[in-house]
Amino acid sequence: MSLELKNVEKKVGIETHIYSTNLKLKKNTINVLLGSTLAGKTTLMQIMAGLDKPTSGEIWFNGENVTGKEVQKRNCSMVYQQFINYPNFSVFENIASPLKITGVKPDEIKQRVGKVAELLKLSPMLNKKPDELSGGQQQRTALARALVKDSDLILLDEPLANLDFKLREELREELPKLFEDRDCIVVYATTEPLDALMIGGNTATLLEGNVIQYGKTLDVYSKPENLISAKVFSDPPMNIAEISKSGEIFKIKENSVQWKSNVKIKDGNYKIGIRPHNITTYKEGNNSVEINGKVLISELSGSESLIHFTNGKLNWVSLSNGIQQKNIGEDTKLFMNIDEFLYFDANNRLVTNG
Amino acid sequence: MNKTLNPKAWYFVIPVFALVAFNAVVPLMTVVNYSFQETFGSNVFQWEGTRWFKEILHSERFHASLGRQFIFTFIILLIQLPLGIAIALTMPKKGWGVPVCLILMSMPLLIPWNVVGAMWNIFALPDIGFLGNSLNSIGFDYNFTQQSGDAWFTTILMDVWHWTSLVVLLSYAGLNSIQPAYYQAAEIDGASRWDIFRYIELPKMKKVLTLAILLRFMDSFMIYTEPFVLTGGGPGNATNFLSLDLVKMALGQFDLGPAAAMSLIYFLIVLLMCWVFYSLMMKDEGRT
């Protein structure tokens, strides 16, 4: 089983929503589409589902060209950011609805709904109506509806975006397990890099209608093909600087910070990308370089501290563990873990990841 | 929490209070006053107790006009709701058609009610009116000023023309508030057009439709101007609805006592129906 997009392009009027895209999703995989709003995630999913037709290009499913085949005739299901359920059906009837339409026998419906409800912890509320449930439970119902069908393709369009923090965490942990033993292709769209990392599988980074990179999630994260992919897959935003290398000496152009390293690249000019968690208020790793900064903003996020600081023309973000109290305007010392630097050439392509 | 006590706030409340008292409470109390007394000229009154109320409640004339009123309102709702929903469903959701449809739909609502009555009166005249003349020329014996069936037909047609738009606009608003994802989800499930209407659109429109029913019920139950201009309650008493009958009794016959009693009963019926609708609407609200 596989889903393949061949040169798929989508134009609406004079605007291009999806630029020519090739993507091959394999059987039993979870695939994350990672990109900000308007990157084309939803459009891509709708094309995969058959809700929308590509302007050009083909979609192949299991070796069959399904371009233009109606969504009703395909075996797929979709979960949306909004909690979409039939408003006057009970949870049971909601989950059973796709089965009823395809004419499954009542006994089997009951058994299959029961099983899925158990999996999604919905058993106690099978008789309730969607508007009597919490947001998390409503979304679980929508997920159950998608799972009960045994679809070949399950599309999840930012399913956690409308949930509050705790419910999101909880469901995010459960999601990969739900799809573990399923014979299907799962596509999961999200704006959050953390979602992609937690779900694992494969990730495609998207920007403005282009698929930038597709591969195993961890590979895409640690070896982004280019600077754009690295930026998409970084939250808080990646810190970037221009450097020059000569011999063992690496020097940031915007200020005079320099260090020695035996990274094997030719002498010349490069760009470096540093993820915020590789700049910390304490030394981390074996090779760290000191950088001074003037604190712009210091904020706490759970048990982590975000410090925005400037150094020369640079305007960077650091992410440290624990609560690090800094005052605005304070001069502070930070440490960059040089083993984690990403080096890009003049064309923004990755040269090495340290 | 400490509340500051500032009696000056009353200065802001008192004008409103006075205004409401002046235009609602005082006239109502006058009516109440009339309903318990026999009124003679030169401000002479005689206490009659509940006599007028008993008389009205047992009067065949009141029963007849109340019956007519209920039948009229029932027919109006039966036609306007499904028709309004049907029109709303066929209206475009985007593009230049939207403003065109919305303006066309709001037109009848903007026309003064007595103008609507006058328009339809002329429109339906059997000799010179377009509707009346056309009906007669294709073989119908149509004359709304002489045949009660025709009078009913014309009154209902006029009300449908005048007020269906309201149901359309409300339903359209309800339909537009349904997120596209619902339709997509149903499409993926393989639901038919009827399923989508029955299980998504109708439940999602429930609130606006309750409102539409309430508004149309109230308005048609209290209809006065249009039938007054169109038929004047005739022929005979065929289209003599409650409010028409009430005005005839109060201003035509100058039976102030019985008319006042009838007003209050009328008012209580409307109030009761309001309450029924209100509690039906609130029953669902309370659940969430």
- pLDDT digit string, tens, across residues B162-186: 999 999 999 999 999 998 889 988 8
Q: Which of B177, B179, B188, B202 to mutate to test the interface with A (most CBs of A within 10 A)?
A: B188
Q: What is the pLDDT of residue A3?
A: 86
Any idea where the domains of chain B sit in the sequence? 52-283
Portion 78-137 of A in contact with B at CB < 8 A: 78, 80-82, 84, 86-89, 97-98, 101-102, 131-132
How far apart CA A327 and CA A330 sit, in angstroms, is 5
Q: What is the pLDDT of residue B288?
A: 42
Q: Which residues of B touch A49 (CB under 8 A)?
A: 188
Mean pLDDT of B33-62: 82
Measure in Å the smallest separation between the Cα of A3 and chain B Cα atoms.
Answer: 18
Contact criterion met (CB < 8 Å) for A131 and B287:
yes
- Tell me the count of A-B CB pairs closer than 8 A: 49
For the CA atoms of A19, A23, A25, A29, the dihedral, rounded to the nearest 10 degrees, stands at -70
| B52-283: CATH topology | MetI-like fold (1.10.3720)
For A261, the 3-state DSSP assignment is coil
**pLDDT at residue B43 is higher than 80:** no
Q: Does B284 touch chain A (CB under 8 A)?
A: no
Neighbours of B77 (CB within 10 A): 16
pTM above 0.90, yes or no: no
How far apart CA A46 and CA A78 sit, in angstroms, is 9
Nearest CB to A87 within list B187, B189, B203: B203
Contact criterion met (CB < 8 Å) for B191 and A101:
yes
Local confidence pLDDT in tens for the 354 residues of chain A: 788 888 888 888 888 888 888 888 888 888 998 888 888 888 888 888 888 888 888 888 888 888 888 888 888 889 998 889 998 899 999 999 888 888 888 898 999 999 888 888 888 989 999 888 888 889 889 989 988 888 888 899 988 888 888 888 888 888 888 888 788 889 999 998 888 888 888 899 999 988 888 988 888 888 888 888 888 888 888 888 888 888 888 888 888 788 888 888 888 888 888 899 888 888 887 888 888 888 898 888 888 888 899 888 888 899 988 888 888 888 888 888 888 888 888 888 888 877
**pLDDT at residue B13 is higher than 60:** yes
Contact criterion met (CB < 8 Å) for A102 and B190:
yes
Nearest residue on chain A to B182, judged by CA atoms? A84
Among B65, B72, B71, B237, smallest CA distance to B157 is for: B72
Give burial (CB, 10 Å; 0-12/13-18/19+) of B215: middle
**pLDDT at residue B56 is higher than 90:** no
Measure in Å the smallest separation between the Cα of B285 and chain A Cα atoms.
Answer: 11
Measure in Å the smallest separation between the Cα of A30 and chain B Cα atoms.
Answer: 20
Q: What is the pLDDT of residues B218-270, one digit of tens each?
A: 889 988 888 888 888 878 888 888 888 888 888 877 788 888 888 899 999 98
pLDDT-wise least confident of A263-267, B40-44, B118-122, B263-267? B40-44
Let me know: does B171 contact B216? Beta carbons within 8 Å.
no
Q: What is the pLDDT of residues B65-114, one digit of tens each?
A: 999 999 999 999 999 999 999 999 999 988 899 999 999 999 999 999 88
Contact criterion met (CB < 8 Å) for A82 and B191:
no
Nearest residue on chain B to A131, judged by CA atoms? B288
Contact criterion met (CB < 8 Å) for B188 and A76:
yes
Per-residue pLDDT band at B159 (split at 50, 70, 90)? very high
Q: Where do the domains of chain A lie, and which CATH numbers do they carry?
A: 2-232 (3.40.50.300), 239-352 (2.40.50.140)
How far apart CA B6 and CA B60 sit, in angstroms, is 57
How far apart CA B28 and CA B51 sit, in angstroms, is 19
Q: What is the pLDDT of residue B76?
A: 94
Q: What is the pLDDT of residue B91?
A: 92
Mean pLDDT of chain B: 87
Mean pLDDT of B3-28: 85
Q: Tell me, what's the ipTM?
A: 0.76
Nearest CB to A131 within list B182, B184, B288: B288
Q: Which residue has the tokens 């998608």?
A: A146
Measure in Å the smallest separation between the Cα of B188 and chain A Cα atoms.
Answer: 6
Per-residue pLDDT band at B286 (split at 50, 70, 90)? low
Contact criterion met (CB < 8 Å) for B188 and A80:
no
Contact criterion met (CB < 8 Å) for A49 and B287:
no
Nearest CB to B189 within list A80, A81, A101: A101
Nearest CB to B188 within list A71, A88, A131: A71
Phi-psi region at A28: left, alpha or beta (left = phi > 0; alpha = psi -120 to 50): left
**pLDDT at residue B287 is higher than 70:** no
Per-residue pLDDT band at B284 (split at 50, 70, 90)? low
**pLDDT at residue B120 is higher than 50:** yes
How far apart CA B93 and CA B91 sit, in angstroms, is 7
**pLDDT at residue B59 is higher than 90:** no
